[in-house]
Amino acid sequence: MKKSMRKLWLAIMALLMVCLTYTPDANATDGYFSNGTGTKSKGMAGAGIAYLKGPFGGALNPAGISFLEKKWSFEVSVGLFNPNRKYTVTGAATTPDKWGYMDQSGNFVNDPRFMTFGLAEGTVESDKKYFVIPAIAFSYKIGEKHNLGFNFYGNGGMNTTYETKTYYSEIIDGFGNPMPDGNPNPMANVSQPTGINMQQMFISLTYAIQLGKHSIGVSPVFVYQTFEATGLQAFRDMGMAGNPMMPVDRSQYVTNNGVDNSTGFGVKIGYQGELFDGFRLGASFQPKIKMSKFDKYAGLFAEEGGFDIPCNWQAGVSYTVADKVTIMFDVKRIMYSKVKSIANPMKPQEMMPMVPTVPMDPQMPFQPNPGWVPLGDENGAGFGWEDLTVFKLGVEVAAVKTWQFRTGVSYGKEPIQQSEVMFNILAPAVNNTHLSLGFTKEIKDHALNFAVTHALNNKVSGPNPFDPAQTIDLEMNQWEFELGFRF
């Protein structure tokens, strides 16, 4: 027994060292949060807050580790995540002869100084499509009531790599450098590829106490996230226009600054209990986690590089019929609107540091924009995401000896609004429906787990806010395959 425990701890330490040098990308996603945690939960589209058994239950619901039969349990999993993302721009960019503005009487006034920012027409797919995602979990019973757990997992992320100059206008670039107003041309140095890479790693330690058929658990959580952006020079240079109201020049902290990292500490609490035979309740709550800032991208994210983990909760019920079939229903809520870098909308009229003088003044053709809100400001433009509510239905069948089979479906309206498609080319989280299948095969004292999840293809369309003549379509579907083993 001592020899096997020694091997187990060596395996845990080896896996932990691997995990600490590897930051996982996103899993099948609710917005940019993982659709589920642990292979069993993923086989039910993320359901199981009131039922899930196994050490990974501590990540979904800290109270869940109280009802394990074994004194200790150790699981590892490896997932292959395949998101397929693309955007389509329809409509030719508005040419200078059609530029202008609406006056106070609602009449259009042709004025070539009022530039539009039209993108290149066509469809572009994100290049990087496959990600390997490891996770580990451990639980240990101390006596009859007390339980300890450890989890390492990825709970979120976003990644896009477009092998093109996405945010680029040939028309504007054609003005040369400098621009007619004497300021640098925002298109002069646009690079490719265009995209972002946001990764999040969670490490949690769990304590749960069992009180009869009920349990309460708490998990201190450490979060490590990384971020990198490329190809966003057009937005950086817009912030260099010499506006005298500029409090801080953050223009060099928008794009192409390499990988930056951020850390934070939080907590997750949970409850799970059986009210009567076969009927259980479960709930977990994680307050917003304050993260350190991405200093290298203080001119991109609101609040000078802030990107906190949104407050979120999940609650549900489960009912087991004759020890064979368990039906689960969960509700998950993510408060994206409480994190400004995620929630702030894009308002083109506020992003221009200089605006043409109306009526035309040859001595001062341009003037500072009194309503200018630079990127990186507290109210600077973000992704414009709304809060997300996801409904999850899962079923587990244990009718065959040593086998359990699972399936699930989840639905939650995508957090991206039609008015926010421009920035969300970088983060096209438009999926709203997930379908999952999974199974467990008991092998003596061990078990093999498997899950597959498919996020159905979905599309969100809206106008280019910088050029109303264009429409931008965001489209994505996802596949995830996960294999896990319980020691």
> What is the spatial distance between Cα 445 and Cα 222, in angstroms, rounded to a whole number?
31
Q: Supply the DSSP string of 315-359, one letter for each residue.
A: EEEEEEETTTEEEEEEEEEE-GGGSHHHHPPP-HHHH-SEEE-SS
Classified as helix, coil or strand, 383 is: coil
- Residue 453 makes CB contacts below 8 A (sequence gap 6+) with 28, 35, 36, 42, 45, 434, 435, 436, 478, 479, 480
Residue 206: per-residue pLDDT: 95
The H or E element that residue 227 is part of is strand 214-230
Residue with tokens 């019929």: 321
Classified as helix, coil or strand, 143 is: coil
pTM value is 0.91
Domain limits, the chain:
2-486
Question: For 2-486, CATH number?
Answer: 2.40.160.60
Are 34 and 410 in contact by the 8 Å Cβ rule? The answer is no
Residue 311: per-residue pLDDT: 97
> What is the spatial distance between Cα 422 and Cα 293, in angstroms, rounded to a whole number?
24
Q: Per-block average pLDDT, block size 10, for the chain (487 residues)?
A: 52 52 61 91 95 86 89 91 96 92 80 89 93 92 92 87 95 83 82 94 95 95 96 77 59 94 97 94 97 95 95 97 93 96 92 83 83 89 96 94 95 94 94 96 93 96 94 96 93
Burial of 166 (0-12, 13-18, 19+ CB in 10 A): buried
Q: What token pair was written down for 461? A: 């369309």
Residue 242: per-residue pLDDT: 47
Residue 128: per-residue pLDDT: 85
